Structure 1
Amino acid sequence: MAGHSKFKNIMHRKGAQDKKRSAMFSKLSREITVAAKMGMADPDMNPRLRLAVNAAKAQSMPKDNIQRAIDKATKGEGENYEEVRYEGYGPGGVAIIVEALTDNRNRTATNVRTAFSKNGGNLGASGAVSHGFDRMGLIEYPAAVGDEEKVLEAAIEAGAEDVESSADGHAIWTAMDALHEVSKALEETLGAADSAKLAWRPQTTVELDETNAGTLLKLVDMLDDDDDVQTVWGNYEVPDEVMEKLG
């Protein structure tokens, strides 16, 4: 198990979590409702729902909002969302995976394709880039939870596969089917995580220059702003000095 990695595999722009809270809550609610519809409405009996509820709590989503999202599923209310994945290439040949929950595939596909074409990329066929990623569980903690050694020790004890620590926080990687179990074990030693979810971890990364990085961040922002898009993953790395120039 590696204790530290320079690679930043969480492919979100710094501060992407500063999006409007209403939009963020909407996406969290959608995931909670879908998770509850796919299994039991009890988080203790439904691992996906438990992770969704924990993610909502980590973002300070009100309990009433969380319960309303669960109630929608139990009462059969609201739209029927389906999970859709899009794959394509961005500026500099970066591989990108977009995960969405949608009630209108045509609308979502059009919006995602437009985002790629307007920002130096192109949408590919299913499977076009996912072969270059590993499907894994990802648990994120803030840096304040403890130093690298403390987190690494807890992760090993919990059965995680890898840990990446930096000034921004800790990313703990697990086998896909061990995410729920490892998440629960870590919660006992480190407290509630900022997030715990299935993720796409790139096998290799592409370092971008300022021009390509700037265009790529616009693409990620445009995708993130779409209500249907839940997560955006990529195999890019933007050096710190480039990020500083881009602000």
Structure 2
Amino acid sequence: MAGHSQFKNIMHRKGAQDAKRAKQFAKVIREITVSVRSGPPDPASNPRLRAAISAAREVNMPKDTVDRAIKKASGAAGGDDYVEVRYEGYGPAGVAIIVEALTDNRNRTASDVRAAFSKHGGSMGETNSVSFMFQRLGVVSYPADVASEDDMLEAAIEAGADNVVSDEERHEVTCPMEAFFAVRDALEARFGEPQSARIEWRPETTTPLDEEKARAVLKLIDVLDESDDVQNVYANFDLPEDVAQALAA
């Protein structure tokens, strides 16, 4: 497992859970807000809102909290207005990093992200300065016990997916970004609600890190991820098993 997802697993084991949960909720509520503003407040006819509600379930957000967020975002008065922005740059050891944010103040967010890069051994670049090293993919995950490898592969290919990777814990289906909602809906109709479903940046090549460099990169990603405005951070590093174990210890 490479990049940000592996980092998240490490942080999950060591984080302050209550604070992390509150921050996760805040990020999901921002996504719900933008989803409602960009389409109808009915998830049945708003694919992005359905994805946001799926993300809310993934972090165990109560249904009444989700409903309140939808209601607030659909109100005439509105509440906060967020815009989507993306920042790119390089971290320690030349690791490429993409930062996605939802913000009501572009100047504040850009300043915070630039400061994080500068203080932690990185440098913020121009838009598209590193994104060419990544693919934009739809990723749908199911627990391993919902279907056999063959059944999941057959269903995914029929739905328009490119690939399925299965192991003892889960099936991970990847598809072109443009096919994401169709693939997710087809799989949901057959296997039920997925464990997670989102559009991600996936690196085409990765940079292996030793423990010292890994600590520096993870510190930068941690600082970026702590920003209230930042929704997702992706990076093209890879942690060898021994390094991952040393960091988790």
| TM-score after normalising by structure 2 | 0.89
Partner amino acid, structure 1, of 2:46? N
Could you tell me which runs of 5 or more consecutive residues in structure 2 were left unpaired when the two chains were aligned.
Answer: none
Q: Residue 44 of structure 1 corresponds to which residue in structure 2?
A: 44
* Kept after mapping to 2: 8 A contact 1:87/1:127: yes
| Cα 1:194/1:53, change in 2 over 3 Å | same
> 1:134-190: per-residue Cα shift (whole Å, max 9, x none)?
222122334454564443333223221122334564332111111111111111233
CA distance in structure 1 between the partners assigned to 2:205 and 2:150 by the alignment: 25
Q: Residue 59 of structure 1 corresponds to which residue in structure 2?
A: 59
| Cα 1:7/1:215, change in 2 over 3 Å | closer
2:117 is equivalent to residue 116 of structure 1: yes
Larger displacement relative to structure 2 (161-170 or 132-141): 161-170
Partner amino acid, structure 1, of 2:28? L
Alignment of 1:143-158 (within 5 A): 143-146=144-147, 148-158=149-159
Following TM superposition, by how much is the alpha carbon of 1:118 offset from its aligned partner in structure 2, in angstroms?
2.1
Q: Residue 24 of structure 2 corresponds to which residue in structure 1?
A: 24
Partner amino acid, structure 2, of 1:209? D
Q: Residue 74 of structure 1 corresponds to which residue in structure 2?
A: 74
Q: Residue 173 of structure 2 corresponds to which residue in structure 1?
A: 172
Following TM superposition, by how much is the alpha carbon of 1:34 offset from its aligned partner in structure 2, in angstroms?
0.5
Supply the RMSD in Å over aligned alpha carbons.
Answer: 2.0
2:229 is equivalent to residue 234 of structure 1: no
Q: Residue 14 of structure 1 corresponds to which residue in structure 2?
A: 9
* Kept after mapping to 2: 8 A contact 1:12/1:233: no
Partner amino acid, structure 2, of 1:22? A
Partner amino acid, structure 1, of 2:98? I
Larger displacement relative to structure 2 (107-116 or 24-33): 107-116
Count of residues in Structure 1 that have an aligned counterpart in Structure 2: 242
Larger displacement relative to structure 2 (15-24 or 199-208): 15-24
Q: Residue 93 of structure 2 corresponds to which residue in structure 1?
A: 92
* Kept after mapping to 1: 8 A contact 2:4/2:233: no
| Cα 1:92/1:150, change in 2 over 3 Å | farther
Larger displacement relative to structure 2 (105-114 or 121-130): 105-114
CA distance in structure 1 between the partners assigned to 2:170 and 2:209 by the alignment: 22
CA distance in structure 2 between the partners assigned to 1:227 and 1:186 by the alignment: 32
CA distance in structure 2 between the partners assigned to 1:120 and 1:144 by the alignment: 43
Following TM superposition, by how much is the alpha carbon of 1:99 offset from its aligned partner in structure 2, in angstroms?
0.1
Name the SS of the counterpart of 1:44 in structure 2: helix
Following TM superposition, by how much is the alpha carbon of 1:80 offset from its aligned partner in structure 2, in angstroms?
0.3
| Cα 1:129/1:168, change in 2 over 3 Å | farther
Structure 1 or 2: more helix by fraction: 2
> 1:68-114: per-residue Cα shift (whole Å, max 9, x none)?
11112210422100000000001111111000000011111121112
CA distance in structure 2 between the partners assigned to 1:147 and 1:9 by the alignment: 27
Q: Residue 3 of structure 1 corresponds to which residue in structure 2?
A: none
| Cα 1:16/1:127, change in 2 over 3 Å | same
2:106 is equivalent to residue 105 of structure 1: yes
> 1:33-57: per-residue Cα shift (whole Å, max 9, x none)?
1001001111010110111111112
